[in-house]
Amino acid sequence: MPSPVSSIPNLGPASEAAFAKAGIHSAEEIRAMGPDAAYLALLRAGTPPHFIGYYVLVMGLQGRPWNDCKGDEKKALRQRFDAIKAEGLQAAAPSGLPRDLEAALNALGVRAK
């Protein structure tokens, strides 16, 4: 039986809901993806980027408390976060919706063209 997302240290019900929205339903899926790909999936599913949310995930996957991230390690994670955020935002349309969703809504006539 798969482990819930909230079994990863530092992650709780809000993280579990965000990952479910991104189609990720277990801790094993997150571990297999790694923190960068898992966080990118969150961004692509519409979760607003937040540096603390990213490094909380990284620390949790390492079995470390969220506030254990300091100094040069935190600076390096910030660079990784900025790159992930840039990639995730490229997938968003100007409205902030994922491009494929906006295109579908436009095709259906739900949104102005």
Residue 31: count of CB within 10 angstroms of its CB: 13
Q: How many Å apart are CA 43 and CA 3, to the nearest integer?
A: 22
Radius of gyration, CA atoms only, the chain: 15
Alpha helices in 1-113 (DSSP H): 13-21, 27-33, 35-44, 51-61, 71-90, 99-108
Q: What is the CATH topology of the domain spanning 5-108?
A: DNA polymerase; domain 1 (1.10.150)
Residue ranges of the chain whose pLDDT lies below 70: 90-104, 106-107, 111-113
Q: How many Å apart are CA 76 and CA 40, to the nearest integer?
A: 17
Residue 98: count of CB within 10 angstroms of its CB: 17
What pLDDT, on a 0 to 100 scale, did the predictor assign at position 57? Answer: 97
Going by C-alpha positions, the residue among 46, 48, 7 that lies closest to residue 26 is 7
Look up the pTM and report it: 0.79
- CA 89 distance to own-chain centroid: 12
What pLDDT, on a 0 to 100 scale, did the predictor assign at position 111? Answer: 56
